[in-house]
Amino acid sequence: MSFLTIFTAPKPFTNPHINIIQRNAIQSWMRLEDVSVMLIGDEAGIRATAKEFGAKHVPDVARDDKGVPTVRSVMAQGHAFSDSPLLCFANADMILMSDLVRAARQVSAQVKDFLIVGQRWNLEVTEPLDFSGDWESRLRAEIEMHGEFYNPWGIDYFVFPNHLYCDVPNFTIGRPVWDNWMVYHARTQWKLALDATRSVLVIHQNHDYSHLPGNKPPYGSEVAKSNLAKAGGRRHAYNVLDTNKEFIKGKICSPKQHLARYLRRLEHLFITDVMTGWRGRIAIWIGKIERPLSTIPRR
């Protein structure tokens, strides 16, 4: 039994660039100590990739009316086919490193129920990565030179004990809001959503949106609106700044206060489901001020 199972529902491996970055991500996970990897779905290339790298393959997954896997089913399969005490869902383009496993061990030694999330770094990756030698140090140096710290709305990994998130709304995966609901759920149900940004560096490999209608990000799409409704509206869409604790130097502590977090707290006072009228206008205005401040790296 491994300590942590990382599971994901990859896109088809047919697009050459998606093929490269997903293989990069999976190889980074396979190199982590005491970690198992699970690939969920029967899209083209998943079975062969799982076999090549020695990952577990779970082909069966429920889908929405467009054929996209649902979060409820992916989560259910992640629970059903893992005996690890901790689970991590990660998007299949995310490079994860040993600091994630270390943080998971340290947090689980301190508390029973928790969710770990964090802001990501974006990086242009167009070639297979070299995982020989000290590959983590090379990637960290690359981030220092070329990485872009992304805003707190994009949440790409979730670490939690295997007894949590056993029944989630029937969101469509890979579309907006479901990730934000995960933070809301942790805050309201067991009162512990941890921001590990200062302790865990995760890398998102940039890609286009050729796999989506119109080759555009899914924000504002009908499926995004459906996910928002299933989450319970805008008031249930939390981001990394809405966590109530931070994980710093091996300890769970109160969040370090910074202007972006203050503004996010203020924004909450004015958020409405329709975002019209004076309250909605104030919330939008605060968000516009907050956004660039939230992309200043936190060390």
Q: Are the CB atoms for 82 and 193 separated by under 8 Å? A: no
Question: Against a cut of 0.85, is the pTM above it?
Answer: yes
Q: Are the CB atoms for 291 and 268 separated by under 8 Å? A: no
Provide the residue ranges of all domains of the chain, joining segments of one domain with +.
4-256, 258-299
pLDDT band per the 50, 70, 90 thresholds, residue 212: low
- Helix (H), strand (E) at residue 261: helix 259-268
Tokens encoding 274: 């329709």
> Facing residues of 70 across strands?
172
CATH superfamily, region 4-256: Spore Coat Polysaccharide Biosynthesis Protein SpsA; Chain A (3.90.550.10)
pLDDT 10s digits, 48-66 = 999 999 999 999 999 999 9
Q: Are the CB atoms for 162 and 63 separated by under 8 Å? A: no
pLDDT 10s digits, 236-290 = 999 999 999 999 999 999 999 899 999 999 999 999 988 889 999 999 999 999 9
